[in-house]
Amino acid sequence: MKLTFNEQDLIPVIVQDVYTNNVLMLAYMNQAAYDKTIETKEMVYYSRSRQTLWKKGEISGNIQYLKSLSYDCDEDTLLAKVEQVGAACHTGNKSCFYRDIVKDTMPEAHILDELFNVVKQKQLIPDGGYTNYLFDKGLDKILKKVGEEASEVIIASKNNNQETVYEISDLFYHLLVLMVNNKIKLSDIYKELSSRRK
């Protein structure tokens, strides 16, 4: 393999979340950044504005752990799959690509991440709503609701009821509340599910 760097001795790197496959950002590496990334398994880029190496997250703590690195057919672009800690974008968004020009109306899988963050926020800053009620009542109440929602999914599915989607959504929501309560991250679930694809 011989990578092709451009006239500025840089190569673009598309960065993707290893668990969700969402594109997080586009950055550049020079040879030194590439070598450091391979050595440390943490993403290091070349800042074109500052003209220096920068390790992703060295200030914010939002480190990217390298899980795989591929190159394209022309050997002039890299694809890095990473485990992202926190937000990838300096704006605080999970991805730098958070503004749409054209978008399919179908919600994407990242709605789970967004909803998970909403539930976490409600635990930190109570607003007196239903989710806070569940956290206030504690684990037994949350487990009771998970059990009830699972039963309702079974009943709706058995009856081939149109309510099945609604009940599955309820179950998903209460599972997210349980996860936040028990300090389980969505990335833990993505990682486990990913291991089952083999």
Which parts of the chain register pLDDT below 50? none
Q: Do 11-84 and 111-195 fold alike per CATH?
A: no
Per the CB < 8 A criterion, the answer to whether 45 and 33 are in contact is yes
pTM exceeds 0.85: no
pLDDT at 106: 58
Q: Where are the domains of the chain?
A: 11-84, 111-195
Beta bridge partners of residue 113, listed in sequence order: none
Q: What is the CATH number of domain 11-84?
A: 3.10.20.810
pLDDT at 107: 62
What are the pLDDT digits (tens) for 101-132? 987 665 666 788 889 988 998 888 888 899 99
Query: Backbone phi, then psi, for 80, in 5-degree steps?
Result: -105, 130
Q: What is the CATH number of domain 111-195?
A: 1.10.287.1080
pLDDT at 183: 95
- CA distances 46 to 6, 21, 55, 78, 185, Å, are 13, 23, 9, 14, 30
The C-alpha angle with vertex 85 and arms to 108 and 46, in degrees rounded to 5, equals 100
Per the CB < 8 A criterion, the answer to whether 110 and 94 are in contact is yes
